[in-house]
Amino acid sequence: MQFTLLTTVAALAFGTHAAVIGRQGSDNPRLAQFRVFSDYGCSNLNEGFFTVDTDQSNKCNNFAPYSGSTPNGYVSIVLQALQPAGEKCKLYLYSDTTCSATETEAALNGCDNASVTQDGASFPTWNSWQLKC
């Protein structure tokens, strides 16, 4: 019984699609949450999640300070949720650090692998993101 309970709690705490963390009563509302991985397929090498608040929207955000195990960005990303305040927003992923190369719209609850090819060049990681509202 205890083992089953501990296993269930651990699965909920560390699951790749754990519940979205919301905030209430803030003048900087939460808009979205996405999870990042250092491997293709959005299941192995879960590196955690990013929450996106209003002050982070409509500007380029670089993964470089955060992607320790994959220094050039993340390999796959899942847009887990758009909060009510962000339901009209779109998350875009980029292969460069300035939100200009290989703009790709992330699918809600879909796995977006960074296997992007543009002009004959292959880009194996996402290096920046922008939530456009």
pLDDT for res 117: 63
* pLDDT at residue 13, rounded to an integer: 41
pLDDT at 17: 44
Average pLDDT estimate for 123-133: 90
In this prediction, residues 61-73 reach a mean pLDDT of 71
Q: Each residue of 10-63: pLDDT tens digit?
A: 444 444 444 444 454 578 999 999 999 988 999 999 999 999 999 999 999 998
Q: What angle do CA 22, 127, 78 make, to 5 degrees?
A: 40
Instruction: Look at residue 4 and tell me whether its pLDDT is greater than 50.
Output: no
- 66: its two tokens: 């955060």
* Top-level class of domain 30-132: mainly beta
Q: How far apart are the first and last CA of the chain?
A: 47
**What residues does each domain of the chain span?**
30-132
Q: How far apart are CA 98 and CA 78, in angstroms?
A: 21
pLDDT for residue 122: 66
pLDDT at 99: 95
Residue 124: the pLDDT is 82
Q: What is the model's pLDDT at position 66?
A: 72
Q: What's the order of all strands across the beta sheet hosting 30-37?
A: 46-53, 30-37, 76-82, 111-113
| Selected residue with higher pLDDT from 9 and 97 | 97
Does the pLDDT at position 9 exceed 50? no
